[in-house]
Structure 1
Amino acid sequence: MPATLRRGSRGPDVVQLQKLLNQKVVPCPNLTADGDFGPRTENAVRMFQTQQRLGVDGIVGPNTWAKLQAGGGPTSPAKPVGEPAWMQIARREIGVRETAGAAHNPRVIEYHGATSLKATTDETAWCASFVNWCLKQAGVMGTNSAAAASFVTWGKQTAPQPGAVCVIYNAAAANSSLSRSGNHVGFLVEETPNAYVLLGGNQSDSVKISNFGKGKWRLKAMRWAP
């Protein structure tokens, strides 16, 4: 079995990984098989792990390799049963990230346009802007606010399910690149015993699937569209 791979890995095993991800992930991530395990490859790994109900960490270890190397084509649908339209839209945005330096990614600025703040930089915290934008694209009214906490009372309370709008809080995250308030909002991929797995914006400065450990992050709200 090939070696364990993670972001930063390079070489022929990564080429094999990228080819398998293009075959197995639905929809196809269209990775370039260049042997460089970068953010797009990591996001594709996370999507594959989610679809295969593996632990979602973006690392290709024995369990992930075993699923990738199993025979046949894609074994999961493009979306889990019952996944809402806004979640499908959010998945298509995976890989969007802030532009380094003085420039700003126009896509992130577009997300901000879905709120009353209408920030003009990608350095302004944009997790709530991303959620509002995805909801708007799906024809659902969001909060029109760039504050993650605005979703605490939005819509209606729900049990954990894919696509739920999940608001979490970590006091230690306040005034960080992720959040000034310590609040963060994203779409729930799954809840595990130890983490909230969220698809969201402004996660490591990008749209991606990330684990938020329950040891540090407290759930404030789990909401669904009104």
Structure 2
Amino acid sequence: MFEPEWLVEAKKYMGEKEIKGTQHNPLILQFWKDIRRGGIKDDETPWCAAFVGAILERCGIPSSRYESARSYLQWGRELKEPGLGCVVVLLREGGGHVGFVVGTSSNGDLMVLGGNQSDAVNIRSFPRSRVSGYRWPANISREPQSLPALIAQRSESES
């Protein structure tokens, strides 16, 4: 199965998490720099868009270069259905969330690899009712593959 290079890159950071207190994870601060938002100097600022953007940039794909998850609704090209590795923008109270779709759970929820999911990089389950949009890099001509079934690790009502 073809796995987009940005998913391979994103998986390298599984388990990275915020540092509680006055210290900050230098990798999360680097994510901000990678999307040209180096003025953000903490790991408490919601960083899901910084994670997605940094991963794309590290693979030579221009990101939205913005700190808002919803900025990805204008990025790349729209997909009607999710595909392996697509960017998904999700609704949440007070804002949005963004990550990479890696599969579906047994109940049909989306499995999303993302940053700032319970303050860490991990894979979590999200209901499709929260989806605002699916996006694919504009400069990648290969279409995404269909989603594999994965075992749900935990449903996220908030991220």
Same fold, TM-score > 0.5, yes or no: yes
Aligned equivalent of 2:34: 114
Could you tell me how far apart the structure 2 residues matched to 1:130 and 1:210 are? 15
1:132-171 counterparts in 2 under 5 A?
Answer: 132-158=53-79, 159-171=81-93
Please say which structure displays the higher CA radius of gyration.
Answer: 1
Q: Which has the higher contact order (CA 8 A, sep 6+)?
A: 2
1:202 lines up with 2:124 in the alignment: no
Q: After TM superposition, where is structure 1 displaced by more than 6 Å over at least 4 residues in a row?
A: none
Deviations 1:105-155 (Å, cap 9, x if unpaired)?
000000111234321100010000000000011110111101000000111
Deviation at 1:191, TM superposition (A): 3.3
Paired residue for 1:186, among 89, 96, 99?
99
Letter in 2 for 1:89: E
Contact 1:164/1:224 (<8 A) preserved? yes
Aligned equivalent of 1:44: none
Deviations 1:194-214 (Å, cap 9, x if unpaired)?
412100000010000011134
Give the TM-score of the pair, scaled to structure 1.
0.57
Greater share of residues in strand? 2
Deviations 1:70-102 (Å, cap 9, x if unpaired)?
xxxxxxxxxxx1211111000011011001211
Could you tell me how far apart the structure 2 residues matched to 1:148 and 1:168 are? 8
Greater share of residues in helix? 1
Could you tell me how far apart the structure 1 residues matched to 2:53 and 2:84 are? 17
Could you tell me how far apart the structure 2 residues matched to 1:191 and 1:219 are? 14
Could you tell me how far apart the structure 2 residues matched to 1:139 and 1:201 are? 19
- Structure 2: segments with no counterpart, 5+ residues: 139-159
Contact 2:88/2:99 (<8 A) preserved? yes
Q: CA RMSD in A?
A: 1.3
Count, aligned residues: 135
Could you tell me how far apart the structure 1 residues matched to 2:3 and 2:67 are? 24
Contact 1:160/1:191 (<8 A) preserved? no
Letter in 2 for 1:188: V
1:1-226 counterparts in 2 under 5 A?
Answer: 81-118=1-38, 119-158=40-79, 159-171=81-93, 174=94, 181=95, 183-192=96-105, 193-214=107-128, 217-226=129-138
Contact 1:116/1:146 (<8 A) preserved? no
